[in-house]
Amino acid sequence: MTVALLLVGGLLMPRAGAAQGRWGTQVRNQLDRASSILSGKGYEMTHELFTGSLRADQAESITLTLHAGTAYALVGVCDNDCSDLDLRLYDADDAAVDADVQKDDTPIVQVTPHETQRYRVKAIMAACRTSPCFYGIGVFGK
Contact 57, 30 (CB under 8 A): no
- The CA-based angle 27-23-120, given to 5 degrees, is 45
Is 14 a residue whose pLDDT tops 90? Answer: no
The CATH class of 8-141 is mainly beta
What's the whole-number mean pLDDT along residues 109-125?
97
Higher pLDDT, 14 or 117: 117
Question: What are the pLDDT digits (tens) for 38-76?
Answer: 999 999 999 998 999 999 999 999 999 999 999 999 999
The total number of residues written for the chain in this structure: 142
Contact 75, 2 (CB under 8 A): yes
Cite the beta strand spans of the chain per DSSP E. Answer: 44-45, 50-54, 59-66, 72-78, 82-90, 96-100, 108-111, 117-128, 133-141
Task: Quote the CA–CA distance of 44 and 48 in Å, as a whole number.
Answer: 12
Q: Given phi > 0 = left and psi -120 to 50 = alpha, else beta, which region is 22?
A: alpha
Q: What is the pLDDT of residue 23?
A: 83
Question: Burial of 57 by CB count in 10 Å (0-12 exposed, 13-18 middle, 19+ buried)?
Answer: exposed
Q: Measuring CA to CA, which residue among 142, 140, 128, 123 is closest to residue 60?
A: 123
Does the predicted TM-score (pTM) go above 0.95? no
β-sheet bridge partners, residue 21: none
